[in-house]
Structure 1
Amino acid sequence: MSLRKSVLIIVLLLLIDQVSKFYIKTNFVLGESIDVFSWFKILFIENSGAAWGAKLSDFFPITDRMGKLVLTVFRLFAVAGIGYWLFDTVRKKSSNTLIWAVSLIFAGALGNIIDSVFYGMIFNDSYQQVATAFSDQPYADLFHGRVVDMLYFPLIDTTWPEWVPYFGGSDFRFFEPVFNIADMAISTGVGILIVFNKKAFGNDEAEAETDSGKNYGPPPPPEK
């Protein structure tokens, strides 16, 4: 796959991701939801932390604000690293499977970092109101934006039977996390690398085996 095709995939995913986030942010109040199907809802939440809403301040003696800044800076370095990985895989003419996977991961990581870096400066708060873009009263400054999530798939929404130890009578939902298009791209890319690992890295392994088995001709005769 050429670099041009990879960039096209990334741009297309970024466009879908950002358009969906802008729409949700400017049409939904925080916590508002609509039912698409019984097993699929649009639910607007914002994530100021890492995966599953975890914050660095939950694990280290730092403020939420400092934790958010550290997390955003780390994500910037991670995106830069993934971008170089993508460039390198294309340059080495690696398998299309690997280029597809890295392109998806890069697009997803870049989509979420845009939220973290810029959204705090672009929008006002969504709490009890619909936010407006390019507001005169932004809810945060640079590097302190919150990631917009909206895709919710409660495929199973029921209650544990009373006879189940500890969990009996409590609510049970599967699948409970709320995510976005960027998260889907990252998960899909990682899934491709796991499921199609041999196919993704096959070209590199074959090249390594070829190099190790090359016949460079007979050794030179010993000097007399």
Structure 2
Amino acid sequence: MSLRKAYLIIFLVLAIDQFTKIYVKTNFFLGDMVPKDGWFRLYFIENEGMAWGTEIPGQYGKLILTVFRLLAVCGIGYWLNSAIKAKSSNYLIVAIALILAGAFGNIIDSVFYGVIFDDSHHQLATLFSDRPYGTWFHGKVVDMIYLPFVEDYLLPEWVPFWGGKQFTFFNAIFNVADSAISIGVGILIVFNKKAFHKEEEKPAVATPAENQTRSQE
């Protein structure tokens, strides 16, 4: 796969990711959910830190996280470039491109959203507001995809630890960038042998003229 095609994958993922985030950010109040039931919903939340809402404590925790993400993207970008130069498997190149696009998508939120949006609490956020909610490198990542396939299921009493409690299967809330990273990692796991397979160089086939020369020698 060429570098141009890899860039196209990254561009498409970033375009879809940022479109959905900006749409939700400017059309939903924080905490809004549409529809109210069903297995697929848009549920607008903002993530202060890493996956699953994990945060790095301290005054500079968010800045450290954003800088770490930037360094990670540089490393992934170098990996992608090396894989293309080495003519690696398309599985590997597509996987790296998806992971890079996903990481970069969330970096855009962290770096820019704090200075281009105002607050989403009890109001619709305004793009390029003159009263931004944060500062550079301190933006919040927008999440909205909610897929509760099984919701508020009452577990039987005999189930260890969780018996008698309400259970929701897959209650994570994520975004397109997170999905791209997960799909990329999934490709590396499921198609591991194909992703890291290196084609052996085929021996050069001698032309008839070369064969004749060798026979005369």
Q: How does the TM-score come out when normalised to structure 2?
A: 0.89
For residue 62 of structure 2, what is the amino acid of its counterpart? K
Question: What residue number does 1:194 align with?
Answer: 189
> Are residue 185 (structure 1) and residue 180 (structure 2) matched?
yes
- 1:118 aligned to which of 112, 118, 127: 112
Deviations 1:11-30 (A, max 9, x none): 01100000000000000000
Question: What residue number does 2:141 align with?
Answer: 147
User: How far apart in 2 are the matches of 1:182 and 1:41?
Assistant: 17
For residue 2 of structure 1, what is the amino acid of its counterpart? S
Alignment CA distance shift 1:172-1:180 (3 Å): same
State the superposition RMSD in angstroms: 1.5
Deviation at 1:88, TM superposition (A): 0.7
Deviation at 1:161, TM superposition (A): 2.4
Deviations 1:52-99 (A, max 9, x none): 111111xxxxx2x41111000000000010011001111111111110
Moved more, 92-101 or 29-38: 29-38
- Counterparts of 1:53-68 in structure 2, within 5 Å, are 53-57=53-57, 63=58, 65-68=59-62
- 1:80 aligned to which of 35, 59, 74: 74
> Are residue 30 (structure 1) and residue 34 (structure 2) matched?
no
Q: Which runs of 5+ in 1 are unaligned?
A: 58-62, 211-224
CA contact (8 A) 1:36 1:42 kept: no
Secondary structure at the counterpart of residue 46 of structure 1: strand
Question: What residue number does 2:214 align with?
Answer: none
Aligned residues: percent identity? 61
Deviation at 1:33, TM superposition (A): 0.4
Deviation at 1:163, TM superposition (A): 3.8
Secondary structure at the counterpart of residue 151 of structure 1: strand
Q: Which runs of 5+ in 2 are unaligned?
A: 202-217
Deviation at 1:168, TM superposition (A): 2.8
Deviations 1:129-150 (A, max 9, x none): 1100011111110000010000
Alignment CA distance shift 1:86-1:36 (3 Å): farther
Question: What residue number does 1:213 align with?
Answer: none
Alignment CA distance shift 1:56-1:7 (3 Å): same
User: How far apart in 2 are the matches of 1:47 and 1:171?
Assistant: 25
User: How far apart in 2 are the matches of 1:194 and 1:41?
Assistant: 28
